[in-house]
Structure 1
């Protein structure tokens, strides 16, 4: 298993280096293999295609980042997790900006959505104290998170993660407080 991870990391490093030089669409498996002096057979032993390699990079790095995060964490712990996630994306901004632009089958954009959806579902279930959240609510919440992240990452000179998180937190908290005031006022009328 250790050799497998060494090979996968070498292929990932090669892809990242190539992406600093070429658009993702112009990179093929041969380029990746040449860069790390491996044969195509080694690549295909570990990955279906370059899209699978991109997803592996995200999965291994992001999974390490979110270990220990749970839906029942405190409010502050959730914001700390969001801060760490945004710092990770910011540090890898060029990579994710490029792979998020790829459309179509096997795109990272689809993989990202599939990955984020269960995280947002868990959070919604905790917030609403229910394990039976309907699809509309899950999609609404997940789409908001995903679209905000994608818009931020697709900006060439995106704002620092501290500013992005602070703006989101301020907007969410002020909106929630305003809605609560409106609901209370409506109950009193």
Structure 2
């Protein structure tokens, strides 16, 4: 019952964000539209922003869990783009609100986890320190997020698969080079 309630609250919030900015949505309005009481909401979430973070974690992160390898990272990144595109109004509303931190955190977690999977695979058999692997993953994470945020800021008009194709050409072989450079300083 608990997951169903969370999903109902999530669905209601997403629906409301298509009509109104996040800052104008109150817990009172949300629970009234969802048909639950305030206590039920607060049993599951601290506030609207907590619910927002839960939506991003549960809806999109699971979809990329099997795309964290050197051969599948492009597919995982495309899934992130497609999630944002499929939930365009919701994501744009988040992007333009005080809840943007949740979108940024979602993107960072999704991309970082995806890239760490790739780095761990490339690092197999090599001795690279954990902090160096994290540094490499963060470098590429911020680059990829910057590209995605620019795409969002520009209205999501460009085909995500074209962006992924260009990224693939740009970074091909770079993770292996980075790992090999850090093998020598570890």
**Largest Rg, 1 or 2:** 1
Which residue of structure 2 aligns with residue 156 of structure 1?
A: 155
Which residue of structure 2 aligns with residue 45 of structure 1?
A: 43
Aligned partners of 1:101 and 1:154 also within 8 Å: no
Gaps of 5+ in 1: 180-189
The structure showing larger relative contact order (alpha-carbon pairs under 8 Å, at least 6 residues apart) is 2
Gaps of 5+ in 2: 178-186
Out of 64, 74, 81, which is 1:79 matched to?
Answer: 74
State the 4+ residue runs in structure 1 displaced beyond 4 angstroms.
103-106, 128-131
Which residue of structure 1 aligns with residue 129 of structure 2?
A: 132
CA RMSD of aligned residues (A): 2.7
Q: How many pairs are equivalent? A: 171
Deviation string 1:48-95 (CA, Å, 9 cap, x unpaired) is 111111111111112331232343xx52x2222222232222111221
Which residue of structure 1 aligns with residue 143 of structure 2?
A: 144
In structure 2, relative to structure 1, the CA distance for the partners of 1:16 and 1:105 (3 Å cut) is closer
In structure 2, relative to structure 1, the CA distance for the partners of 1:60 and 1:5 (3 Å cut) is same
| Separation in structure 2 between the aligned mates of residue 33 and residue 89 of structure 1, nearest angstrom | 25
Aligned partners of 1:51 and 1:108 also within 8 Å: no
Three-state SS of the structure 1 residue aligned to 2:19 is: coil
Deviation string 1:144-189 (CA, Å, 9 cap, x unpaired) is 122112222232243222222223223334x96xx9xxxxxxxxxx
Is residue 27 of structure 2 the alignment partner of residue 29 of structure 1? yes
In structure 2, relative to structure 1, the CA distance for the partners of 1:137 and 1:157 (3 Å cut) is closer
Aligned partners of 2:9 and 2:34 also within 8 Å: yes
